[in-house]
A and B are shown apart, each in its own frame.
Chain A
Amino acid sequence: MISIDSLSFKISSLTKSKRILSNINLNIERGEAFGLVGESGSGKTSILKCLAGQFQGWEGTIHVQGKSIAKASLKERSNTMQMVFQDPYGALHPRHTIRKILNEPLVIKGLQNKEERIVEALEQVGLDETFLSRYPHQISGGQRQRVAIARAIILDPDIILLDEPTSALDVSVQAEILNLLANLRARHNLTYLMVSHDLGVIAHLCDRVAVMKAGEVVEVVTREELMEGNIAHPYTQTLLQHAFSRE
């Protein structure tokens, strides 16, 4: 579904250039939930941004559904891929109502039956029509993240990029959102690429995980290997130790 080959990315200024990603190779199957873990600055979000078209000028190749995304227009890309961000408050326009927020992608694509699609997307994420006239500040953090997810699925994408979707939420709300994401994936046969610093969250939702450090993928492990502690790289072991010691 997604294949990334020798992806490298560096940011250069006049005086110095900084390598953000070096030689990333990943293959993500259709319908798979794939996780990226690592500490801040390790480059996990950068991979999502390369995929989403927020970063330009990377080297290497990225194919989505067999097509190189370097050649795809942003509009084509958004038909197959949508993104959900970490902070639901920052991701939703504060002066747009929920109706307007969900209407926007439909207008851009010139789609019909907007009202029906909006209501359906809201129902998919467990909200109802009464939310349509409200603004983001009038709903709770968990509901906001639900709206952000609704906006991502309203265009019926195949892939959803999730950038720390629950780290700004309370544990009780995190459980609700994780359950919702698992349901949606089963219902629509979605492919997830999820970034998180929390191994527990990753192991809950994802089948496979790439562990990242300083712009490189040090290891790709399955959920079972992770839960059994059957891993090779010392950095993964440190991360896992931290996670186990917290439980």
Chain B
Amino acid sequence: MLAYAVKRIGLGLLILVLVMIAMYAAVFLVPGDPASVALGPRATPELKRLLIERMGLDQPVWWQIVEFFRNALTGNLGYDVWSNRPVSTLVMEALPNTLILGLTALTVALLIGVPLGCLSVMRRGTAADAVIGVISVGVIAVPSFVVAIYSLLLFAVTLRWLPAIGAGEAGDFVSQAKALVMPAAAIALGWIGYIARMVRASMMEVMGEPHIRTARSFGLPEWKIVSKYALRIAIIPTISLVAVGLGSILSSAVFVEAVFARPGIGKLITDAVNTRNYPVVMGTVLIMTAIYVSITIAADLLIARLDPRVRDVFRG
């Protein structure tokens, strides 16, 4: 298990390095050097030279990458071109909002999606199963920004139940929670459908296995067979799906944060890209990749924890 964890973490670090090299490549493929793009067409040559030096753009590319990682290891992700504030500070300010948004959405999606999938299996072939199926496919088909805009119109503009923009008053839990409802729902809705379908499909397969017949032959109640004997196996593909899907949850956070003008990593990236603020783009992408890679590793370790057979494969 430990060797497995070390191997996965090593691979994760390699992915981080590759992503950053790709990011650097992208920056240098864009026409014009980053400094003139950042400063605009009317910048004086002196100003431009100053910025090029400060961003280290006069150094060889490989050296820039090495420097970037060396600085990143000490917590220095570079400086915002405009405000000159450290990128790490900007990220740390924005990150909690996005993490709360993503985790709330994911938790809600799991808490609704998994029981719906189980219910589908227990009532397979009935009207309830069909209704859950149609609703699941329906919500998967609706993009999260559409949900965001319509819920904004309905709940914020027409009904005035929930705040339209922002993340709520700092320190006021109720106001923060109210500001979280619509963005989280916009992200969670499609995932409820995905998770319900996934749980249903893998559970149907598990329910046909002989050990389920054994559990039935001992007269265990159906809810216990589904929730304990089948779900522990059937949830494994869902964990992988959710871990991979977290990437798209984070990218839908970009849209959703833009629609609700909610401060967060998504909004930070969008603004930075729009203003060609390269250090901020790089720093945030590094942090997001790191988060994504850690979640994937956590999911793999969780699967190994749930399935003793996986555990043994990596032990031996």
Bound pair (A, B): no
Task: Give the A-binding residues of B (Cβ under 8 A).
Answer: none
Task: Give the B-binding residues of A (Cβ under 8 A).
Answer: none
